[in-house]
Amino acid sequence: MGKDCTDDMITSSANQQMKHLSQLMKRAKERKKEQVFVVEGIKMFQEAPADTVVSVYVSESFLEKPEHEKCLQGYRYEVVSDAVFREISDTQTPQGILAIVRMPKYDLSDLLQGDHTHLLILESVQDPGNLGTMVRTGEGAGITGIIMNKTTVDLFNPKTIRSTMGSIYRVPYLITEHLPDLLDELHKENIRLYAAHLKGDTYYDAFDFTGACGFLIGNEGNGLSDEIAECADCYLKIPMEGKVESLNAAVSAALLMYECKRQRGEHNENMV
């Protein structure tokens, strides 16, 4: 399919489409209602599954490069003046392309893979950059899914989406109204739950993560609530030097997820 754009360039941020786009970027409630989110940049656009892309907007200068027009083949798109695009963009140096994308949908069964189940479970994480980094790191570490409670920052916040670097399209997720009930479900599936906790007296690399497991990570400032911490099968600790009391939530999650990946790699090698 060749070039397929409308004839009229959008030259005002008061344009209805621009108002709609702005609402989707700024308001989680609107995103949830329409079950869509906004992605920005060439990489995020190109990695979006084609059948989930609802609409595409490009700046007038974006089309000046032939390779840019090539990446738009097969899509209808609207051209936006550079000034309006800068105004609507959520980044300081816009790449010139935005898209509205449908949210993927998953059930708990999509996150469970028997003995290979490897979950990251979040309680009230508040920083969108942290959340996005965890999704991206989780994909790298081979998690089978990410679970979060409803008070965790919106997964589809534009900053979170950027921080995932495309992993948002590939990591199954579940947002739960009541996390304790879901953790009970995981226990019934014989998934062992581990919590990085001040009460932990055993270093994380001493545990066996080769079976189905999940790692509980709490709020950046307060950690896990007592209710959620009590759902863990084991408490573990991360060794610290100096006067550091705790690590960034995303760093702690990365250490645990990659230790699981390391152990499973060695386990598979030993089975050969």
Question: Are 256 and 215 a contacting pair, CB within 8 Å?
Answer: yes
Q: How far apart are CA 6 and CA 57, in angstroms?
A: 11
pTM for the model stands at 0.92
**CA separation for the pair 145, 181 (Å, rounded):** 17
Backbone angles phi, psi at 179, to 5 degrees: -60, -40
Helix H, strand E, coil C: the string for 2-57 is CCCECCCCECCCCCHHHHHHHHHHHCHHHHHHHCEEEEECHHHHHHCCHHHEEEEE
Residues of the chain with CATH 3.40.1280.10: 108-271
Contacts 24+ apart (CB under 8 A), 187-192: 187/231, 187/233, 189/112, 189/117, 191/112, 191/117, 191/119, 192/233, 192/234
Pairing outcome for strands 192-196 and 213-217: parallel
Burial class (CB in 10 A: 0-12, 13-18, 19+), 235: middle
Q: Does domain 108-271 correspond to CATH entry 3.40.1280.10?
A: yes
Sign of torsion, CA 204 245 157 44? negative
For the chain, report the end-to-end CA distance as a whole number of angstroms: 48
**Residues forming CATH 3.30.1330.30 domain(s) in the chain:** 16-102
CA pair distance 109, 3, nearest whole angstrom? 41
pLDDT truncated to tens, each residue of the chain (272 aa)? 334 665 589 999 999 999 999 999 999 999 999 999 999 999 999 999 999 999 999 999 999 999 998 899 999 999 999 999 999 999 989 999 999 999 999 999 999 999 999 999 999 999 999 999 999 999 999 999 999 999 999 999 999 999 999 999 999 999 999 999 999 999 999 999 999 888 899 999 999 999 999 999 999 989 999 999 999 999 999 988 998 877 899 999 999 999 999 999 977 776 65
> What's the one-letter identity of residue 26?
K
CATH-assigned architecture of domain 16-102: 2-Layer Sandwich (3.30)
